[in-house]
Amino acid sequence: GAGVSQTPSNKVTEKGKYVELRCDPISGHTALYWYRQSLGQGPEFLIYFQGTGAADDSGLPNDRFFAVRPEGSVSTLKIQRTERGDSAVYLCASSGWVDRGNRNTEAFFGQGTRLTVV
């Protein structure tokens, strides 16, 4: 697609429920990132994929959060046993391959999914 697409745009769920958030990166982008943004804050890193593998998942807050990218394109962020503190905007971004020799590392973001846990 032309840009990064995230679905749904809004999700309201009850405390304790399971949710899945989807990200469709720009075609051909090997790197995919998930961020979480709370009101008045900058985006906070969650996890980063190069291809199918999670290259860095150090930002995931706890084991209730998990993300997959089985075919190296679409990614799903999964949150189990949601808590009210999980309410935030979840942003996805993609970019070209990131290494020392590659300057084409501009990151492009989707519109985000606003998650509200009630």
Partner 1 sequence: KQEVTQIPAALSVPEGENLVLNCSFTDSAIYNLQWFRQDPGKGLTSLLLIQSSQREQTSGRLNASLDKSSGRSTLYIAASQPGDSATYLCAVRPRGSQGNLIFGKGTKLSVKP
Please report whether residue 74 would count as binding partner 1 according to CB under 8 A: no
d(CA 19, CA 16): 10
CB atoms within 10 A of CB 20: 14
Q: Which residue has the tokens 């999964």?
A: 78
Q: How far is the CB of 81 from partner 1 (least distance, A)?
A: 26
Touching partner 1, residues 11-30 (CB under 8 A): none
Stretch binding partner 1 (CB under 8 A), from 17-25, 48-56, 70-78, 79-87: 48-56
Residue 73 or 110 with smaller CB distance to partner 1: 110
Stretch binding partner 1 (CB under 8 A), from 12-20, 62-70, 73-81, 91-99: 91-99
The residue among 83, 76, 84, 5 whose CA lies nearest residue 34 is 76
Instruction: Judge whether 102 and 96 are in contact, CB under 8 Å.
Output: yes
Residue 47 or 79 with smaller CB distance to partner 1: 47
Strands, E, within 38-97: which ranges?
44-50, 53-56, 65-68, 75-79, 88-95
Which residue of 21, 112, 115, 117 would you call a contact of partner 1, by CB under 8 A? 112
